Amino acid sequence: MQTIYAAKFARRYVGPTSQWTRERWATSDGDFVDVDWCQDGAPQGEEAPLLVLFHGLEGSSNSHYAQAFAAETRARGWHMAVPHFRGCSGELNWAPRAYHSGDFEEIGWMLSRFRSQYHGPMFAVGISLGGNALMRWAGEMGRAATQVLDGVASVCSPVDLTTSGNAIDSGFNKAVYARMFLATMKPRALQKLKQFPGLFDPMELMAANTLYAFDDVFTAPLHGFRGTDDYWDRASAKPGLSRVQVPALVLNARNDPFIPASSLPTKDQVSEHVTLWQPETGGHVGFTAGRFPGDLKEMPWAVLEWMTQHG
């Protein structure tokens, strides 16, 4: 209920809708990524911090959490940017690759690009899938991450992809959430097949009724994994949390329907630079506060407050 309520009913911001300016970045493989910059009275110059927000599965700058963070950065006078994973900005990308939960190479390229053009304080937040990829990057980079960012945070991220994937593919989650994700992922994959005939078997794709089956046909082989099991195992951020050297916040509600509490990292599994926040409630990015219909400002405020104090 918290998950659905936050996404569908709670207030995302107070005042006017956030305004975005889009910038297209060319990639080294002849493709592109679209970056949306929040223009809601953002300060000029580099004295203010920059927040880079990586969206979740099938997300964008229009997602409820992105709009809530935009409102909070506006209130603080921060800059904010939302880089879209390939295919998520409303236009099909040009290359065969798409995006996946452990895409830390793409995260690294994006962050390096931001750092090359912005020299003030810089933080990154990843939501769900984006948070797993971001923490995967932080674990891979180790101390070098501190040369790029002042702090990172993941929000409701499935850092153990196998456990979370199995949870989404079961019971109520399969009937509601898996079906919702597949409703947009399958058509996009078929568009990709038109670009690159023979990329995968369309009959197997259409028969997939779980994220596991979809990843086995499309995501895993397209990105160099042997199958879903190999993908979920190698792409999970949890094993690398002990190597994180940049200030990091890992926030997960213990009643998240996608992420069983038993799979959440414990203090002995992370480095001294990682702070674990595991409130009992909040669902999947479902943190709301205030009287009906409630609003989403509490979580972005808390995350940015943590970054201000620890970055």
- Say which of 101, 128, 154, 164 is annotated catalytic: 128
3-state helix, strand, coil in the chain (%, to 5): 45, 15, 40
* Catalytic residue check, 40: no
- DSSP reduced 3-state for 14: coil
- Say which of 79, 223, 256, 273 is annotated catalytic: 256
Round to whole Å and give the CA distance between 155 and 120: 24
> Chain centroid to CA 70: how far?
15
- Say which of 79, 100, 223, 284 is annotated catalytic: 284
Helices (H), the chain: 2-8, 64-76, 104-117, 129-141, 161-168, 171-173, 179-195, 202-207, 211-214, 220-222, 228-235, 298-310
ω before 49 within 30° of 0 (cis)?
Answer: no
* Catalytic residue check, 128: yes
Write the secondary structure of 18-46 as one string of H (helix), E (strand) and C (coil). Answer: CCEEEEEEECCCCCEEEEEEECCCCCCCC
Round to whole Å and give the CA distance between 161 and 163: 6
* Catalytic residue check, 100: no
116 CB-contact burial (10 Å; exposed 0-12 / middle 13-18 / buried 19+): exposed
CA distance to 19, 50, 80, 131, 282, per residue, from 73 (Å):
13, 9, 7, 19, 21
Instruction: Point out the residues that are catalytic.
Output: 128, 256, 284
